[in-house]
Amino acid sequence: MSGLTPALARYLLAIRDGVERRVELADRLEVSRPSVTKAVERLEAMGLVTEGRGHRLALTAQGDEEARALAASVETVERCLVAQGMAPGCARRTACEGAFVQPCPVRYR
């Protein structure tokens, strides 16, 4: 991984999930718009996200690789918890809490 903080990982995964605009990120992640601006600027500086025409956010190839690895990690933990008898919804929250702060940005594909 490229040194992402848990907070930046949440943004990266939300963008991977199809969130294209800053206001949508703020709504999805339940954060302020200034927080989104700072996070997007950091992700751009890291070469993980681009903001193109119409201010639409997109992952770079490197950003997509990072997001895939993060999502796979969360899903692996979730599967392990379910296999140990935890209810799926609870396992999802617990897996996300281990990697991020709620709300969980990872959605099933």
Any idea what the CATH number is for the domain that residue 93 is in? 1.10.10.10
Residue 64, domain extent:
6-99
Average pLDDT over residues 42-46: 96
Does residue 25 lie in a domain region?
A: yes
Rounded to 5 degrees, φ, ψ at 49 are -140, 145
Over residues 11-36, the pLDDT tens digits come to 999 999 999 999 999 999 999 999 99
Does residue 21 lie in a domain region?
A: yes
User: So what's the pLDDT on residue 109?
Assistant: 45
Total count of domains within the chain = 1
Does residue 107 lie in a domain region?
A: no
Residue 54 pLDDT > 90 = no
Q: What is the pTM of this model?
A: 0.78
The tally of CA atoms less than 13 A away on the side-chain side of residue 100 is 25
Does residue 105 lie in a domain region?
A: no
Does residue 44 lie in a domain region?
A: yes
Which of 24-38, 50-64, 78-92 is least confident?
A: 78-92
Does residue 108 lie in a domain region?
A: no
